[in-house]
Amino acid sequence: MGHVNVVSPKRIRPAIKGTAVGNFMEWYDFGIYGYLTVTMTSVFTDGLPEQWQLLAVMFGFAVSYLVRPIGGMVLGPLGDKIGRQKILYVTMAMMALSTALIGLLPTAAAVGGWALVLLYLLKLIQGFSTGGEYAGATTYIAEFSSDKRRGFFGSFLDMGSYIGFAAGATVVAVTTWILEAAVGPDAMADFGWRIPFLTAIPLGIIAVYLRTRIPETPAFEDNIDNETEQTVKDPDDPYARLSLLGVIRHHWRALLIGFAIVAATNTAGYALTSYMPVYLEEQIGMHSASAAAVTAPILVVMSLLLPLVGGWSDRVGRKPVYIAAVVSTLVLLVPAFLIMNTGSLPAVIIALAMVAVPTGLYVALSASALPALFPTASRYSGMGLSYNFAVSIFGGTTPLVTQFLLQQTNLNIVPALYIMVFAVIAGVALLFMTESSRRPLPGSFPTVESDEEAEALIRRHEQDPFFDTVGMPFTEEEKKEALATAR
């Protein structure tokens, strides 16, 4: 019963830094692409009918999500087999390279329709890599965090995401202001749009370097040690490493719960980030630089508050915080878009802050609640399936679908209604979700932050309501002992 992983905060910090940098890069690209969407219509859609030009560039955002499930299905099982760290290194390199290459693409004026084809190709490469990135990063950080503070530490992962988006938006805004003042109003469309994408080169080098320095997670190493000792693997054991079909067979309920929560989280998140630049420019009439400048501070403030929300979930539980996210979505979203459409700058800031409330409540829990739905041996695979299918179908398509619905209905609150539908679905899913706060991850040994905590846990484990030996990666003899103790 002495199997307790001790991961001190000193070891957790570099792990958080190494994983958060990947999310930063992923969302840095989203920020650049989102705030250059309108500018890039003139660069990549020359010759298309006017009513399709904006949608064509927005489709470039959506198309990357079409292959995310494929990336999850390929990279997830690999991450469960050879390790989280190795796959996260590969996904980081692919993301940084494809982002930088967008900045080198020829325009439609030079190669016609091939410009869009090449853009879509690079977005597909990004989508494949991100199919393994977030699933792997959340799995990694959840397994490296202590049970009592998994919500707090996990929230830093999504802090990196939204700060990355804000950084991308800021780079676009600063580049636009400088070039338009120095060169003229056509500078961004002529060549300036390339600069933000090319900044991914130095950032990518730093990010890849940090990824090479993160260790493997203790939970994965425990599980691999257990697999090595086992001569026969039981395909009917839900805690064993399973094929994708095995994951679906044994963990279909967790997959559906994760799918519903991810859909709600990302329709809100992508509406606030990737779709908001287009909405503010096209619907409210703001300049692209102003739209970026007004959104970035909201995202930074929300990001800085995520650890408070994550820490709160460690105390009160994940489910109560998720419920707060659902309720605030239903209460705040319609008023937010009504206020935004008054068009004044203070109204836009207030409205964005209102949209950020449920978004922050959702995303602060993603790296702690979602990986806890699956056992260690199949966690990367389970996250790869539930997260990527939900994001592909509903998250990444949010800008495209909401813009299309807006054009068809002329109803300014369509984005709010769209997000609210998924909040209701997530609310139903929460009825079937098991609380995971302060508990060991399924299929893992308990994780604490000091030897003293480990000794205390071993002494009182029989009285600890959060301590469950079922599914822990014991050897066969230790499993028999654990079952005997449970009886």
Q: Which amino acid is at 354?
A: M
pLDDT at 352: 94
Backbone torsion region of residue 410, taken as left when φ is above 0, otherwise alpha when ψ lies between -120 and 50, otherwise beta? left
DSSP 3-state of 466? coil
List the chain residues with pLDDT less than 50.
1, 230-232, 482-483, 486-487
Write out the two tokens for 32.
């650049």
E strand or H helix at 447: strand 447-448
**Confidence at residue 1, expressed as pLDDT on a 0 to 100 scale:** 44
**Predicted pLDDT at 463:** 66
CATH superfamily of 5-215+241-448: MFS general substrate transporter like domains (1.20.1250.20)
Cα–Cα separations (whole angstroms), residue 110 to 107, 198, 214: 5, 20, 43
Write down the pLDDT at residue 472: 67
Name every residue whose Cβ is closer than 8 Å to that of residue 426 and which is 6 or more positions away in sequence: 260, 261, 263, 264, 265, 322, 325, 326
What is the domain partition of the chain in residue ranges? 5-215+241-448
CA distances from 252 to 222, 244, 249, 285 (A): 25, 11, 6, 45
Task: Report the alpha-carbon distance of residue 187 to residue 36 in Å, rounded.
Answer: 13
Q: Specify the length of the chain in residues.
A: 487
pLDDT at 410: 85
Q: At what angle do helices 150-182 and 288-316 cross, to 10 degrees?
A: 170
2: which residues sit within 8 A by CB, 6+ positions away? 458
What global pTM score does this model have? 0.83
From the list 424, 406, 258, 228, the residue with the least C-alpha distance to 326 is 424
